[in-house]
Amino acid sequence: MLKFLRNLYKKFLVFEESYFIKDAPFQFGARELKVSQKTLKDFYQNYYKVSFLKFLSNVKDIVYLKNPFDFLTKNAIEDWSFWYYLEFLEKEKIIKVGKNGKVDVLKKEILDFIPRPQNFEEIKKKLEDKLELKIDEKKPVTSLFEKIKKFKIKPDYDQMPISAGSAIFLVQKILERLPLQKKFLFIGDDDFISIILSLAEPKIESKVIDLDEDLLSFVDNLALKFNLKIETERVDIEKKKSLKEKFSGFLISPVYTLEGTQEFLKYGVNQLAEEGGWVFLNLGDESIGNRYLFLQDFFTKQNLICREIVPKNIYYPFAKIHYPEDEIISERLFKMIDKKIVKKNPKLGAALYVFEYVPFKIKKIKFKKSIYSYL
Return the HEC string of the chain: CHHHHHHHHHHHHHHHHHHHHHHHHHHCCHHHHCCCHHHHHHHHHHHHCCCHHHHHHHHHHHHHCCCCCHHHHHHCCCHHHHHHHHHHHHHCCCEEECCCCCEEECCHHHHHCCCCCCCHHHHHHHHHHHHCCCCCCCCEHHHHHCCCCCCCCCHHHCCCCCEHHHHHHHHHHHHHHCCCCCCEEEECCCCCHHHHHHHHCCCCCEEEEECCHHHHHHHHHHHHHHCCCEEEEECCCCCCCCCCCCECEEEECCCCCHHHHHHHHHHHHHCEECCEEEEEEEECCCCCHHHHHHHHHHHHHCCEEEEEEEEEEEEEECCCCCCHHHHHHHHHHHHHCCHHHHHHCEEEEEEEEEEEECCCCCCCCCCCCCCCCCC
pLDDT interval class at 135 (50, 70, 90): very high
Residues 171 and 287 in one domain: yes
Q: Each residue of 273-300: pLDDT tens digit?
A: 899 999 999 999 888 999 999 999 999 9
| pTM for this model (two decimals) | 0.94
pLDDT at residue 266 in the model: 95
pLDDT at residue 154 in the model: 76
Residues 126 and 55 in one domain: no
Q: Rounded to an integer, what distance in angstroms lies between the CA atom of residue 54 and that of residue 12? A: 12
Residues 106 and 142 in one domain: no
pLDDT interval class at 30 (50, 70, 90): low
Whether 28 has a pLDDT exceeding 70, the answer reads no
User: The domain spanning residue 214 has which CATH number?
Assistant: 3.40.50.150
Residues 350 and 226 in one domain: yes
Q: Rounded to an integer, what distance in angstroms lies between the CA atom of residue 218 and that of residue 171? A: 19
Residues 262 and 293 in one domain: yes
Residues 73 and 152 in one domain: no
Residues 50 and 151 in one domain: no
Residues 174 and 85 in one domain: no
Domain boundary among 62, 96, 112: 112
In a domain, 270, yes or no: yes
Residues 210 and 230 in one domain: yes
Residues 100 and 131 in one domain: no
The fraction of the chain above a pLDDT of 70, given in percent, is 97
In a domain, 191, yes or no: yes
pLDDT interval class at 149 (50, 70, 90): confident
Least confident of 35-49, 121-135, 148-162: 148-162
Could you list the residue range(s) of the whole structural domain that residue 18 is in? 2-112
Q: Rounded to an integer, what distance in angstroms lies between the CA atom of residue 159 and that of residue 59? A: 37
pLDDT interval class at 373 (50, 70, 90): confident
Q: Each residue of 152-208: pLDDT tens digit?
A: 877 766 778 899 999 999 999 999 999 998 899 999 999 999 999 999 999 999 999
What total of structural domains would you count in the chain? 2
pLDDT at residue 318 in the model: 78
pLDDT interval class at 229 (50, 70, 90): very high
pLDDT interval class at 33 (50, 70, 90): low
Q: Rounded to an integer, what distance in angstroms lies between the CA atom of residue 190 and that of residue 157? A: 9
